[in-house]
Amino acid sequence: MGNETEHLSRAEVAHVLAEALPFMQRYAGQTVVIKYGGHAMGDPELARKFCADIVQMKLSGIHPVIVHGGGPQIGAMLEKLGIASRFEDGLRVTCARTVEVAEMVLSGSINKSVVACIQSVGGKAVGISGKDGNLCRARKLQRKKTDPVSGLEKIIDLGYVGEPVHVDTDILDTLSASHAIPVIAPIGVSAEGETLNINADTFAGAIATALKAKRLLLLTDVAGVLDPDGELIPELTPQSVERLIGEGVITGGMIPKVRSSVEVLKGGVEGVVILDGRVPHAVLLELFTARGVGTRISEDGGGADA
């Protein structure tokens, strides 16, 4: 953690390292997928600390795979170009011009800035998108909406918004074997060759499932799932997720996040953690300390080896 350890005594540093050791052993040789976005990606100092943590993970024998978002940056570029944005149920309706901008921003400036940051702190990274190496085959996402007046269901056309249907991990396996850290933009390609913009949480979940990752970490701008008093809920199971949704404890944009996390568990990932990317070194604190810093969703709600 660089200069942040200078105020600690040698005994305190030794204690920190000793506490981390069993967790390093637990994750050694395992894959951890991290969805990176929000404030953590926009703040230069937090970004540097995040990248240093990723390099530390790689040096510890873990295989980190980064999937990054970029919604605000896409929105800013669309505004700069005079292209109006329209949303349906929280998803950007993506026309042909918009998907071109999304790919330019995600696969271009954002992806390469994350790669450069990792390499500036001593790592080796390779930036790709879901189009490279046929990594992510996708299809157009369809959403249904009930008309409040007629009660009839209609299909919402979101344009070039996609959802993953198949992930080919060959390119990721090759990168991990070469000691490089994959940094992936959430862009996929359809069977017809169309470029599709994919929600970064959804994309990261598909990657984690295909890789049978030990963990999927979703960095957000909130502490995690909160109880009615605003306190962090450290552990959840699929059953408690549905109960808390029914009780109105989990609301709004957190509902699709936790439900998609449950689907990732069904795909073979051992645990999904929703954590606050604004906390310095959040990734290392989550993986290498006993308490962690976010809400972990797992089948057993945090058993001995969860």
What residue ranges in 38-151 does DSSP mark as E strands?
63-68, 87-88, 91-92, 125-129, 136-146
Specify the range with the lowest mean pLDDT, choosing from 144-158, 165-179, 239-253: 144-158
How many domains does the chain contain in total? 1
Q: Domain limits at 177? A: 27-37+54-220+257-280
Would you say residue 152 lies in a domain? yes
For residues 8 and 82, what is the distance between their CA atoms, to the nearest angstrom?
Answer: 52
What integer is the mean pLDDT of 132-149? 87
Q: 179's torsion region: left (phi>0), alpha (psi -120 to 50) or beta?
A: left
Would you say residue 144 lies in a domain? yes
- Residues 76-88: tens digit of each pLDDT: 999 999 998 887 7
For residues 137 and 122, what is the distance between their CA atoms, to the nearest angstrom?
Answer: 32
Would you say residue 155 lies in a domain? yes
Phi, psi of 155 (to 5 degrees): -90, 130
Would you say residue 286 lies in a domain? no
Kindly give, in sequence order, each residue whose CB lies less than 8 Å from that of residue 243, ignoring residues fewer than 6 positions away.
Answer: none
pLDDT band at residue 39 using 50, 70 and 90 as cut-offs: confident
* Mean per-residue pLDDT of the chain: 89
* Among candidate residues 129, 221, 235, the one with its CA nearest the CA of residue 182: 129
Q: Is the pLDDT of residue 4 over 60?
A: no
Would you say residue 68 lies in a domain? yes
Q: What is the pTM of this model?
A: 0.89
Distances, alpha carbon 218 to alpha carbons 20, 35, 245, in Å? 21, 5, 19
Distances, alpha carbon 2 to alpha carbons 23, 99, 164, 252, in Å? 20, 40, 39, 38
Task: Considering only CA atoms, give the Rg of the chain.
Answer: 20
Specify the range with the lowest mean pLDDT, choosing from 96-100, 122-126, 230-234, 289-293: 289-293
Would you say residue 149 lies in a domain? yes
Phi, psi of 182 (to 5 degrees): -75, 135
Would you say residue 166 lies in a domain? yes
- Residues 250-293: tens digit of each pLDDT: 998 898 889 999 999 999 999 999 999 999 999 998 898 877 78
Would you say residue 133 lies in a domain? yes
168: CATH:
3.40.1160.10
The pLDDT value recorded for residue 176 is 87
What integer is the mean pLDDT of 108-121? 96
